[in-house]
Amino acid sequence: MTRDMSYDAVMARKNEIMKKAVGMDFSKYESGSVAFDYEGMMADTGYTLEDIINIQKQFAIGDTHIIELKNLTALARKCAPAGKGARIFVKDEATNPSGSFKARRAATSIYQAKKMGYKGAISATSGNYGAAVAATCAMAGLKCIVVQECYDSRGIGQPEIVEKARKCEALGAEVVQLTVGPELFYSVLIMLEETGYFNASLYSPYGIAGVETLGYEIAQQFRRDYNTDPDVVVCSNAGGGNLTGTARGLMKAGCKAQIVAASVNLKGLHMASDDQFNKKSFTTSHTGFGMPFATNPDRSDVPRSAARPMRYMDRYVTVNQGEVFYITEALASLEGLEKGPAGNTALAAAFYLAQEMDENQTIVVQETEYTGAGKHIQPQLSFARDNGIEVRLGNPEEEVPGKSIILPEHPRLIRARDVDLNKMRHSLIRNKTEGYDNLTDEDIAFLAAETKTDNAYVLQTLKELR
């Protein structure tokens, strides 16, 4: 008897498909109410931090350099008040085999897939993670399928996504390219069911545990080289796994650095809109993912996401597209480091945040990404112009996502704009408690952990919401 492959039927059995494809029974962590056992789920990967470090070494991943950006620091100090301008550092994750920090996520997942006897892995991603899964699958001798949202209905793809597809194919993956819309998750579920491959999800406990080594390395390297901990660590934020894993690693090292999330401001653009798909110049590290995934993390391709950034962020800021393009060029011309723009979202924020800090303080940008033909500034700006976007020099405050990209006339115009975390916490609590009237003490404690607050804050928020 053939299975019903209609959209509704496939979505109805998604939990069954995902359980088989990850090899983890997520139902065992559920309480039947709002709360679930997050730390229990993370522990059930079965790997210690030391285990994961050793796994990543087998794939030549990790132990990347921290580089002090002395020239960008000097420029920030010229823009800052007297005595201000923290030293800026960057963790150069572009030196991992696939060119980004996502190699750390992939290594743990693919090691687990190989260990459990899967013949291949599937990844749903626009790019960098797909390249990471492809590279680690090649090393492990597994098949790899990468599924991309690549085109609008006219068959036009963004140069950055097309570039990342090229890289995935070069690393041996089969790349399936789709138009924007709800078909991505549906298509991935069908492929997982038909192939029996491992779901190398961005949001599984294996993936997030892999990123913990990044935060741990930052703390250990800083202590070794500078005899101190960094004061601030800035993480580019999209789905939240980057920040979550890094923060957990810093905590495991006993580092109390302030954790700042940074996203590109794409306010007003809908990520699943065919008309607006090519109106944006960033496919990741932007608010279109950063906001909804932070306030409702379980919207991912596993029943419970291990990426839960609101548990860890102390501050959330946004920067504009033109500012990120500017700082990308500045990084290359002043520091000799040519990196992909999306990975420089946190650097644009750090350049401004450093000007708020004292000169004897330190701020770390915790990742870079590789660059390539489609990722460079010029093809992206040319593509924007072709899609009716105004590109000019001026004041980035005047930039309107989907209509303009404004490169700052002077570095002094670069800004990091604070997001109201209390508003986001309220949204998360509202999202999680919808449909639940009788919350338990366990639920309240869970929501306090989810929002990095306390029980009193949660109870007061619930009172205000209801």
Instruction: Please tell me the predicted confidence (pLDDT) of residue 241.
Output: 96
Distance separating alpha carbons of residues 422 and 430, to the nearest angstrom = 12
| 413 and 432 assigned to the same domain | no
DSSP string spanning 159-211?
Answer: HHHHHHHHHHHHTT-EEEEEESSTHHHHHHHHHHHHH--EE--TTSHHHHHHH
**Taking every pair of C-alpha atoms in the chain, what is the biggest distance, in angstroms?**
76
| 359 and 432 assigned to the same domain | no
Stronger pLDDT, 300 or 237, i.e. the higher one = 237
Cα angle 410, 415, 418; round to 5:
175
Stronger pLDDT, 348 or 13, i.e. the higher one = 348
**CATH number for 82:** 3.40.50.1100
Instruction: Please tell me the predicted confidence (pLDDT) of residue 301.
Output: 83
| 367 and 446 assigned to the same domain | no
Percent of the chain with pLDDT over 70: 100
24 falls within a domain: no
Q: Label residues 316-334 b or e (16+ Cβ within 10 Å = b).
A: bbbbbbbbbbbbbbbbbee
45 falls within a domain: no
80 falls within a domain: yes
How far does the chain reach from its first CA to its final CA, in angstroms? Answer: 49
Instruction: Please tell me the predicted confidence (pLDDT) of residue 200.
Output: 95
pLDDT at 437 over 60: yes
CB 357 within 8 A of CB 443: no
Instruction: Please tell me the predicted confidence (pLDDT) of residue 282.
Output: 87
Region 438-463: what's the mean pLDDT? 97
Instruction: Please tell me the predicted confidence (pLDDT) of residue 358.
Output: 98
Q: Which domain holds residue 300?
A: 56-98+209-418
State the total domains in the chain: 2
180 falls within a domain: no
Instruction: Please tell me the predicted confidence (pLDDT) of residue 466.
Output: 81
Region 343-356: what's the mean pLDDT? 97
| 407 and 441 assigned to the same domain | no
> Which pLDDT band holds residue 56 (cuts at 50, 70, 90)?
very high
418: left (phi over 0), alpha (psi -120 to 50) or beta: beta
Question: What is the average pLDDT value for the chain, to the nearest integer?
Answer: 94
| 344 and 437 assigned to the same domain | no
Element (H, E) at 146: strand 143-151
Region 424-441: what's the mean pLDDT? 94
Region 45-72: what's the mean pLDDT? 97
pLDDT tens for 90-99 read 999 999 999 9
Region 54-79: what's the mean pLDDT? 98
pLDDT at 1 over 60: no
Residue 325 backbone phi and psi in degrees, to 5: -60, -40
pLDDT at 366 over 60: yes
Distance separating alpha carbons of residues 305 and 428, to the nearest angstrom = 14
